[in-house]
Chain A
Amino acid sequence: MANISLSELSQELRAAINDLQSSPEIKNVGLVTKIGDGIVWIYGLADCGYNEMIAIESTQGEPIYAFALNLEEDQIGAVLLGDERYVSAGAKARLTGKPLAVPVGPELVGRVVDPLGNPIDGLGPIKASATSPVEKIAPGVITRQSVKQSLMTGIKAVDAIIPIGRGQRELIIGDRQTGKTAVAVDAIVNQHRQQTGVISIYVSIGQKKSKVARIVDRLRQEGAMDSTIVVLTSASDPAALQYIAPYAGCAMGEYFRDNKQDALIIYDDLSKHAWAYRQVSLLLRRPPGREAYPGDVFYIHSRLLERAAKLSDAEGGGSLTALPIIETQANDVSAYIPTNVISITDGQIYLESDLFYQGIRPAINVGLSVSRVGGAAQSKAMKSVAGPLRLELAQYRELAAFAQLSTDLDPDTKKRIDRGRRLTEVLKQGQYEPMSLSDQLVVLLAATSGAFDNVRPEQVPAAAQSVLDAAHAQAADILKNVAASGEISDADKNKLISLAQATTVSLSANGATKP
Chain B
Amino acid sequence: MSAYSRQKFVRALLSLLEKHPVKSVAAVAAPEIIKQGWANSLDLISNDLSRELLRQKKHLEISLTSAYDLPHRLRQQIAKFLADQIHADTTHVTVTIDPALLGGFIATTPAGELDASLSSQINQLKHQTNG
B5 sits at the interface (CB 8 A): yes
Q: Which of A20-44 contact B (CB under 8 A)?
A: 20, 22, 24-29, 31, 33, 43-44
Q: Judging by beta carbons under 8 Å apart, are B47 and A26 in contact?
A: no
Known: A44-B47, A74-B7. A26 touches B116 (CB 8 A): no
Chain A contacts for B47, CB-based, 8 A: 43-44
Q: Judging by beta carbons under 8 Å apart, are A29 and B81 in contact?
A: no
Chain B contacts for A285, CB-based, 8 A: 1
**How many Å lie between the Cα of A73 and that of B44 in the bound state?**
13
B80 sits at the interface (CB 8 A): no
A20 CB, nearest partner CB in chain B, Å: 6
Q: Judging by beta carbons under 8 Å apart, are A28 and B112 in contact?
A: yes
Known: A26-B85, A33-B41, A73-B5. A17 touches B125 (CB 8 A): yes
Chain B contacts for A31, CB-based, 8 A: 44
**How many Å lie between the Cα of A190 and that of B129 in the bound state?**
46
> In the complex, which of the residues A20, A24, A29 contacts B128, with contact meaning CB atoms closer than 8 Å?
A20
A16 sits at the interface (CB 8 A): yes
Q: Judging by beta carbons under 8 Å apart, are A16 and B125 in contact?
A: yes
Number of A interface residues in the complex (CB < 8 A): 19
Known: A25-B114, A26-B113, A33-B44. A20 touches B108 (CB 8 A): no
B115 sits at the interface (CB 8 A): yes
Q: Judging by beta carbons under 8 Å apart, are B7 and A26 in contact?
A: no
Q: Which of B1-16 contact A (CB under 8 A)?
A: 1, 5-8
B53 sits at the interface (CB 8 A): no
> In the complex, which of the residues A16, A27, A33, A73 contacts B112, with contact meaning CB atoms closer than 8 Å?
A27
Q: Which residue of B lies closest to A62 (CB)?
A: B127
Q: Judging by beta carbons under 8 Å apart, are A74 and B5 in contact?
A: yes
Q: Judging by beta carbons under 8 Å apart, are A20 and B44 in contact?
A: no
**How many Å lie between the Cα of A16 and that of B126 in the bound state?**
11
Size category of the binding interface on chain B: 20 to 34
A103 CB, nearest partner CB in chain B, Å: 16
Q: Judging by beta carbons under 8 Å apart, are B7 and A73 in contact?
A: yes
Chain B contacts for A26, CB-based, 8 A: 82, 85-86, 109, 111-114
Chain B contacts for A27, CB-based, 8 A: 112-115
Chain B contacts for A73, CB-based, 8 A: 5-8
B43 CB, nearest partner CB in chain A, Å: 8
Q: Which residue of B lies closest to A26 (CB)?
A: B112
A76 CB, nearest partner CB in chain B, Å: 13
B76 sits at the interface (CB 8 A): no
| Secondary structure of the B contact surface, majority rule | helix
**How many Å lie between the Cα of A159 and that of B8 in the bound state?**
62
Known: A26-B85, A27-B115, A73-B7. A20 touches B109 (CB 8 A): no
Chain B contacts for A43, CB-based, 8 A: 44, 47
For B85, B111, B112, B114, which residue has the most chain A Cβ atoms within 10 angstroms? B112
**How many Å lie between the Cα of A27 and that of B129 in the bound state?**
23
**How many Å lie between the Cα of A285 and that of B124 in the bound state?**
37
B96 sits at the interface (CB 8 A): no
Q: Judging by beta carbons under 8 Å apart, are B124 and A20 in contact?
A: yes
Q: Mark B87-116, 1 if CB is under 8 A from A, else 0.
A: 000000000000000000000110111111
Q: Which residue of A lies closest to B128 (CB)?
A: A20
> In the complex, which of the residues A16, A22, A24 contacts B81, with contact meaning CB atoms closer than 8 Å?
A24
**How many Å lie between the Cα of A316 and that of B129 in the bound state?**
41
For A22, A25, A74, which residue has the most chain B Cβ atoms within 10 angstroms? A74
**How many Å lie between the Cα of A257 and that of B20 in the bound state?**
65
Q: Judging by beta carbons under 8 Å apart, are A74 and B6 in contact?
A: yes
**How many Å lie between the Cα of A22 and that of B129 in the bound state?**
16
Q: Which residue of A lies closest to B116 (CB)?
A: A24
**How many Å lie between the Cα of A20 and that of B114 in the bound state?**
16
B81 CB, nearest partner CB in chain A, Å: 7
> In the complex, which of the residues B109, B112, B121 contacts A22, with contact meaning CB atoms closer than 8 Å?
B121
Chain A contacts for B7, CB-based, 8 A: 73-74
Chain A contacts for B8, CB-based, 8 A: 73
B101 CB, nearest partner CB in chain A, Å: 14
**How many Å lie between the Cα of A46 and that of B108 in the bound state?**
15
Q: Which residue of A lies closest to B4 (CB)?
A: A73
**How many Å lie between the Cα of A43 and that of B46 in the bound state?**
12
Chain B contacts for A74, CB-based, 8 A: 5-7, 44, 48
**How many Å lie between the Cα of A460 and that of B64 in the bound state?**
85
> In the complex, which of the residues B1, B41, B86, B121 contacts A20, with contact meaning CB atoms closer than 8 Å?
B121
Chain B contacts for A22, CB-based, 8 A: 116, 121
> Mind listing 14 A-B residue pairs with CB under 8 Å?
A16-B125, A16-B129, A17-B121, A22-B116, A24-B81, A26-B86, A26-B109, A26-B113, A26-B114, A27-B113, A31-B44, A43-B44, A73-B5, A73-B8
- Which of B's residues lie within 8 Å of A, judged by CB? 1, 5-8, 41, 44, 47-48, 51, 81-82, 85-86, 108-109, 111-116, 121, 124-125, 128-129
Known contacts A29-B108, A74-B6; can you find 18 more A-B pairs with CB under 8 A? A20-B124, A22-B116, A24-B114, A24-B116, A25-B114, A26-B85, A26-B109, A26-B112, A27-B112, A28-B111, A28-B112, A29-B113, A33-B41, A43-B44, A44-B47, A46-B51, A74-B7, A285-B1
